[in-house]
Chain A
Amino acid sequence: MEETLEKKEKILSAADIRTTFHTHGRTVQAVRGVSLYVESGEILAVVGESGSGKSVLMKSVMGLMPDNAEVKADEITFDGQDMLAMDPEQLRKMRGKEIAMIFQDPMTALNPLKTIGSHLMEVLKRHRGMDKEAARKEAVSVLNQVGIPSPEKRLGQYPHEFSGGMRQRVLIAMALCCRPKLLIADEPTTALDVTIQAQILDLLKSLQEETGMSIILITHDLGVVASLSHRIAVMYGGLLMEEGTTEEIFYSPKHPYTRALLHAVPKPHSGGKERLEPIPGMAPSLINPPSGCPFAERCKFACEDCRKEIPQYRTYSETQRAMCIYSGEELDHKEGEVESHG
């Protein structure tokens, strides 16, 4: 998990993304000014609860939002190309080829009337210009790569003949067909059982090491990312509350929300019997989001100033920053005791 401290190239960088929806005469401010980057060869986890804006953020970056959404950004650059200047056709070409995506539900993402083989070969023919024979060979080798046994036989089978975990592997295989530089995985294991989840997470990790691609992993589960990600971005109320390396987020979290999240789950090293510390209340509505810090309503440290305006980021290291008017030290002090994990 230790970082090599050499400066890596940023494969994706996005600045000040704002996404609003117009539905039923109301405006939902789903993402309210988020900047983030992904280095080449790294796994970035975007963690947040439902309604935090994590999926909308990534879809906004990829230009995948529906017509009733309005996306504004200062910058979206992928691999040196300005995505904001691209027309929809150019964007679409890039999405299939250089940026691939997999989604939460492997049950609905495949066409039930087409074989697994034709799913894969279609991608290979369209994006890599292969003929049928070459596409077939490549499809077999990609299925092999994602750990599907007897791939030749499996090519002729239909999605219903695959289990949930195997379907997720097929989707990963489809995503890999074009050898993307960036893979965006939106809750890839949420619909799967724990033993299958472990297999898929291991697969993603080893594929990343093998191919050197970057991965953005969107998830609500901090446990899933602990063993996988290099960096973590924590979203709440349409804002990026904190980002840092996995070590920083788990062992020296600065933002009260990140800290509260870590306290709300049973601790793995202590038998997990002590009483949980829930976060009171619930997430704010994004139709009329609070003018100040979105977490203020549920935060035990909140003061009047928190509710006035959205706080500035405080920078703690080259990699870690948090959006709170208090510093980590001040919060430790307020807590009455210095927290130390592990």
Chain B
Amino acid sequence: MDNKNNEILLEARDLCKYFPARDFFGRKKAEVKAVDHINLTIRKGETFGLVGESGCGKSTLGRTLIRMYDPTSGSILFKNQDITGLKGRQLLPVHKQMQIIFQDPYSSLDPHHNVREILKESLTAVSGLSTDEMEGRMEEILKKVGLKPDDMYKYAYEFSGGQRQRIGIARALLVEPEFLLCDEPISALDVSIQAQVVNLLEDLQKEMGLTYLFVAHDLSMVRHISTRIGVMYLGRLVEIADSDELYENPLHPYTKALLSAIPLADPRLAAQSKRVMLSGELPSPMNVPTGCHFHTRCMYAREDCKNHIPEMVEVSPGHFVSCPYAGENNS
């Protein structure tokens, strides 16, 4: 999509992921188009933020990109290699380079295993290291994420939420991936702990040269951590821009509404800011509107929005928007 001097690490071309929706008898009654014809590039070393409301497909997109899910159509390129069709054991080297940390640090760690066993499991799965090397690697990573060496023999329930998330990060980084999918990694944490985890992720990124896809619904934190941001609505990307550009100059009507809904932790600013209120509700993903998915809630919608799927257009360098009237609606 763009041709900056930065090296492209991961690319999605016309990527789709549909899930069948079945009725009571297991008959397919509809298709949920969780990821619907998405084009996206993620550059090496950047943090790409993916935002949108629940059900917009942001997590599905992330998980399809790292091949946790099989895509329905389209292709995924990782380091210029097409990884779309890989199956089973062929995926192991891919998963060694692309890891994930999950939202819920309470359910993503096996309660029957201590930290050492949790870490060791992921290490044996992908690397041919000797036992000594493994021990060394595990101690090193534990230090990196800010845990103590004797935490190695504790069980998940002995840790707080923030520490569990550190264990999750350690597990993901143990195999020295290049790409990390952060799937709502701080949503379940307390405010005072969120900053600890975000700072840790930023430090690790610098230290290890990692590339992040940061999926979240906390928009102020996404702005803080991201280089570029993509906004999703009902399975489609509606806008992509550098993070400051997106927040200062949002063009798509949905982005405007989403950003204006952020609660501002500053009463005077909050009193001044104008909210773009969305009317209506998110349509069911099983029965999405025709044309532009957003037209049912868009205050600028015109007749042809119902029939034509808008294309992603680059309106200024690096700023893409899929609304033909985006420029006009600014007044």
Contact B192 A279 (CB under 8 A): yes
Q: CB within 8 A of B262: which of A194, A250, A280?
A: A194
Q: Is B267 interfacial (CB 8 A cutoff)?
A: yes
Q: How far is the CB of A181 from chain B (nearest CB, A)?
A: 25
Q: Is A168 interfacial (CB 8 A cutoff)?
A: no
B-chain residues with CB within 8 Å of residue A49 when the two chains form the complex: 190-192
Closest to B263 in A: A223
Q: Is B199 interfacial (CB 8 A cutoff)?
A: yes
Report how far A341 CA is from B264 CA in the complex, Å.
Answer: 14
Q: Is B193 interfacial (CB 8 A cutoff)?
A: yes
Binding-face segment, B74-82, B274-282, B309-317 = B274-282
B-chain residues with CB within 8 Å of residue A194 when the two chains form the complex: 53, 217, 219, 258, 261-263
Q: CB within 8 A of B277: which of A199, A266, A277?
A: A199
Contact with B along A180-210 (1 / 0, CB 8 A): 0000000000000111111101100000000
Q: CB within 8 A of B258: which of A166, A195, A269, A280?
A: A195
Q: Is A246 interfacial (CB 8 A cutoff)?
A: yes
Q: State which size class the interface on B falls in.
A: 35 or more
A-chain residues with CB within 8 Å of residue B263 when the two chains form the complex: 194, 197-198, 201, 221, 223-224, 226-227
Q: Is B160 interfacial (CB 8 A cutoff)?
A: yes
Contact with B along A242-266 (1 / 0, CB 8 A): 0000110011000000001110111
Contact A272 B223 (CB under 8 A): yes
Contact B199 A276 (CB under 8 A): yes
Contact with A along B257-273 (1 / 0, CB 8 A): 11011111111111100
Contact B191 A273 (CB under 8 A): no
Contact A268 B264 (CB under 8 A): yes
Q: Is B195 interfacial (CB 8 A cutoff)?
A: yes
Q: Is B1 interfacial (CB 8 A cutoff)?
A: no
Contact A193 B266 (CB under 8 A): no
Known pairs A163-B282, A199-B277, A221-B191; A280 contacts B196 (CB<8 A): yes
Contact A166 B281 (CB under 8 A): yes
Q: Is B208 interfacial (CB 8 A cutoff)?
A: no
Report how far A194 CA is from B265 CA in the complex, Å.
Answer: 14
Known pairs A163-B281, A193-B54, A222-B265; A227 contacts B192 (CB<8 A): no
How many A-B residue pairs lie within 8 Å, measured between CB atoms? 135
Contact B265 A278 (CB under 8 A): no
Contact A268 B269 (CB under 8 A): yes
Q: CB within 8 A of A195: which of B162, B202, B261, B264?
A: B261
Contact B265 A195 (CB under 8 A): no
Report how far A114 CA is from B318 CA in the complex, Å.
Answer: 52
Q: How far is the CB of A25 from chain B (nearest CB, A)?
A: 18
Contact B53 A282 (CB under 8 A): no
Known pairs A198-B261, A276-B198; A220 contacts B191 (CB<8 A): yes
Q: How far is the CB of B52 from chain A (nearest CB, A)?
A: 9
Report how far A341 CA is from B219 CA in the complex, Å.
Answer: 22
Total contacting residues, chain A, CB less than 8 A = 49
Of residues 112 through 136 on chain B, the ones whose CB sits less than 8 Å from some CB of chain A are none
Contact B220 A278 (CB under 8 A): no
Contact B267 A278 (CB under 8 A): no
Contact B195 A276 (CB under 8 A): yes
Q: Is A50 interfacial (CB 8 A cutoff)?
A: yes
Q: Is A165 interfacial (CB 8 A cutoff)?
A: yes
Q: Is B194 interfacial (CB 8 A cutoff)?
A: yes
Q: How far is the CB of A280 from chain B (nearest CB, A)?
A: 7
A-chain residues with CB within 8 Å of residue B247 when the two chains form the complex: 271
A-chain residues with CB within 8 Å of residue B191 when the two chains form the complex: 49, 220-222, 261, 264-265
Contact A193 B53 (CB under 8 A): yes
Report how far A220 CA is from B190 CA in the complex, Å.
Answer: 8
Interface residues of B (CB under 8 A from A): 53-54, 160, 162-163, 190-196, 198-199, 202, 217, 219-221, 223-224, 244, 247, 257-258, 260-271, 275, 277-278, 281-282
**A and B contact pairs by CB, cutoff 8 A, 26 listed:** A1-B267, A1-B271, A163-B282, A193-B54, A193-B217, A194-B219, A194-B262, A199-B278, A222-B191, A226-B264, A226-B265, A227-B263, A246-B267, A261-B192, A264-B194, A268-B262, A271-B223, A271-B247, A275-B202, A276-B195, A278-B192, A278-B194, A279-B195, A283-B190, A283-B192, A298-B192
Interface residues of A (CB under 8 A from B): 1, 49-50, 163, 165-166, 193-199, 201-202, 220-224, 226-227, 246-247, 250-251, 260-262, 264-269, 271-273, 275-280, 282-283, 298, 341-342
The 10 A-B residue pairs with the shortest CB-CB distance in the complex, in nearest-first order: A278-B195, A223-B263, A227-B270, A279-B192, A276-B195, A198-B261, A278-B196, A193-B53, A49-B190, A266-B224
